């Protein structure tokens, strides 16, 4: 035990209970994606580093990506996100694909960050995008997909909020108070910070960024105006569409939502835990992603959700499924040395009838085998000792109600099917 090689920092072990939950989550988002007609795809886990360098900038790649060198000397990266791969895949077959394209994916990603609550170096992410259409109805659909997912895992609008904004609206609003060009980036950063910092510190931060008192109060006025969305025709349409889609619970306009990514150009949205504030998922509309890697311009809308944060939130609200171990139905015991072959034979018969069956793999005390059956959570236990063997019978113990019956081998399957009903 002492000399165990430690696991890689920020990597994750999935013990069966955790793997079961992971699989459950996968099923949920798969069903939601499919219900809107999205198709599953995946990219490679390894990409040339240039793919990310082109878009994300060298700093990010150097500091946040797991980089390795192949034998030819090329630099590769474990994918830190999926969008560049998606865009490359679309660009490669740009003229063969059918638009609007609806694709989704769930797989592992790596980022070299300092692990903490809700953040690991190895994580899974659900990515879902609609590409090739430039409408507010498409934006609304992706938001509706979010809502459908949140509902399907049992979350309510008391627990999670889905905040929606539009970058074009923020752009024009900033323009009207005299913030433009380079200052806009700083303003976005300031807006992003507005609910993290206390009022006074925020104002200090704002003047450090070079904003005038007038501009600062202008920004505050924008942020506090809950009806601001009415000035944005596209947001009005998004909210109307959401109502038509019957997906307007969870959803709320919020001018604070900007999103860190530069490539968002229109609608942006983000879901977060109301009690705790951490973001669960986020996404938005982009105009020209494909163009960036050398294809013709194609608009799209999409979002991404990490598995770690959502699992923490679901656990907090008691919404994770019971880890009712496995579905293995029964255990075949081994009475003694002479019974080994019969145990194998009987378990094969039961298994062939479609009943999940585990056979104890060695000779052991019955007490130990029964205890094992209890621990792994099977429903029934089969015993064939000398007495049963002599009459061609098997004893079946139902662990749920501690009853036991001895039945003829020929009637065993029917008996078990009845028991498992």
Residues lying near RNA in the complex (CB under 7 A)? 1-2, 6-7, 9, 52, 56, 60-61, 64-65, 80-81, 83, 111, 113-119, 196, 259-261, 282, 335, 365-368, 370-371, 373-375, 381, 383-388, 395, 397, 399-400, 402, 404
What minimum distance in Å lies between the beta carbon of 197 and RNA? 8
d(CA 171, CA 264) in angstroms, rounded, equals 12
What 3-state class would DSSP assign to 205?
helix
Among 243, 257, 251, 20, which Cα is nearest to 150's?
251
**C-beta of 97 vs 312, nearer to RNA:** 312
Give exposure, 63-96, as e/b (b: 16+ Cβ within 10 Å): ebbbeeeeeeeeebbbbbbbbbbbbbbbbeeeee
Please report how close the Cβ of residue 343 comes to RNA at its closest, in angstroms: 12
3-state secondary structure of 3: coil
Q: Which residue has the tokens 């007038």?
A: 214
CA-CA distance, 91 to 295, in Å (whole number)?
A: 5
Question: 45 vs 370, which CB is nearer to RNA?
Answer: 370
Smallest separation (angstroms) from RNA to the CB of 111? 4
Q: Where are the extended beta strands (E) located within 37-170?
A: 39-40, 46-48, 66-69, 75-78, 101-110, 122-131, 160-166
Is the Cβ of residue 41 or residue 370 nearer to RNA in the bound state? Answer: 370
Least separation in angstroms between residue 92's CB and RNA is 20
Which residue's CB is nearer to RNA, number 331 or number 355?
Answer: 331
Q: How far is the CB of 335 from RNA (least distance, A)?
A: 7
Residue among 95 and 116 whose Cβ is closer to RNA: 116
- Closer to RNA by Cβ: residue 58 or 249: 58
Residue 261's contacts (CB-CB under 8 Å, 6 or more residues apart) are 284
State both tokens at 189. Answer: 């950063």
207: its two tokens: 């003047």
Q: Nearest Cα to 384, choosing from 376, 374, 395, 373? A: 395
Give the residue carrying structure tokens 């889905």.
Answer: 162
CB closer to RNA, 18 vs 249: 18
Give the bridge partners for 66, in sequence order.
78
Q: Is 13 helix (H, G, I), strand (E, B) or coil?
A: coil
DSSP-derived secondary structure letter, 87 = H
| Between 234 and 369, CB nearer to RNA | 369
In angstroms, give the least distance from the CB of 243 to RNA. 28
Q: Please list, in sequence order, all residues whose beta carbon lies within 8 angstroms of the beta carbon of residue 393, skipping any fewer than 6 positions away.
A: 384, 406, 407, 408, 409
Overall residue count recorded for the chain in this entry: 421
Least distance (Å) between residue 383 CB and RNA: 4
CB of 81 to RNA, least distance (A): 4
Rounded to a whole number of angstroms, the minimum distance from the CB of residue 208 to RNA is 13
- Taking the least distance from each CB to RNA, the nearer of 157 and 415 is 415
């Amino acid at each position: 035990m002492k000399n165990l090689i430690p696991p890689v920092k920020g990597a994750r072990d999935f013990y069966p209970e955790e793997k079961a939950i992971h699989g459950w989550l996968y099923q949920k988002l798969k069903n939601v994606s499919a219900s809107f007609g999205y198709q599953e795809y995946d990219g490679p886990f390894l990409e040339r580093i240039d793919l990310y360098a082109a878009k994300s900038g060298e700093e990010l790649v150097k500091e946040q990506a797991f980089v390795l060198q192949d034998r030819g000397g090329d630099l590769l990266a474990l994918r830190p996100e999926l969008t560049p791969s998606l865009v490359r895949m679309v660009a490669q077959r740009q003229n063969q694909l059918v638009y609007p394209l609806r694709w989704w994916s769930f797989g592992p990603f790596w980022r070299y960050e300092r692990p903490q609550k809700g953040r690991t170096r190895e994580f899974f992410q659900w990515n879902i995008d609609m590409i090739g259409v430039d409408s507010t109805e498409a934006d609304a659909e992706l938001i509706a997909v979010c809502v459908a997912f949140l509902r399907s895992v049992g979350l309510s609008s008391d627990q999670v909020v889905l905040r929606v904004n539009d970058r074009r609206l923020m752009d024009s609003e900033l323009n009207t108070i005299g913030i433009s060009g380079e200052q806009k980036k700083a303003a976005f950063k300031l807006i992003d910070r507005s609910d993290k910092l206390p009022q006074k510190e925020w104002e200090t931060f704002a003047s450090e960024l070079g904003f005038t008192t007038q501009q600062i109060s202008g920004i505050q006025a924008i942020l506090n105006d809950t009806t601001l969305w009415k000035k944005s025709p596209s947001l009005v349409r998004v909210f109307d569409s959401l109502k038509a889609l019957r997906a307007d619970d969870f959803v709320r306009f919020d001018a604070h939502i900007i999103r860190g990514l530069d490539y968002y150009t229109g609608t942006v949205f983000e879901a977060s835990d109301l009690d705790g504030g951490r973001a669960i998922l986020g996404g938005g509309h982009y105009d020209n992603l494909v163009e960036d890697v050398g294809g013709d311009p194609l608009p799209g809308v999409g979002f991404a959700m990490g598995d770690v944060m959502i699992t923490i939130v679901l656990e907090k609200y008691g919404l994770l499924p019971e880890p009712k171990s496995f579905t293995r139905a029964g255990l075949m015991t081994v009475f003694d040395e002479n019974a080994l072959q019969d145990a194998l034979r009987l378990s094969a018969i039961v298994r062939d009838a479609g009943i999940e069956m585990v056979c104890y793999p060695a000779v052991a005390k019955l007490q130990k085998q029964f205890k094992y059956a209890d621990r792994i959570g099977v429903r029934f236990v089969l015993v064939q000792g000398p007495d049963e063997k002599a009459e061609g019978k098997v004893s079946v113990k139902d662990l749920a109600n501690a009853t036991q019956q001895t039945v003829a081998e020929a009637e065993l399957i029917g008996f078990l099917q009845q028991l498992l009903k």
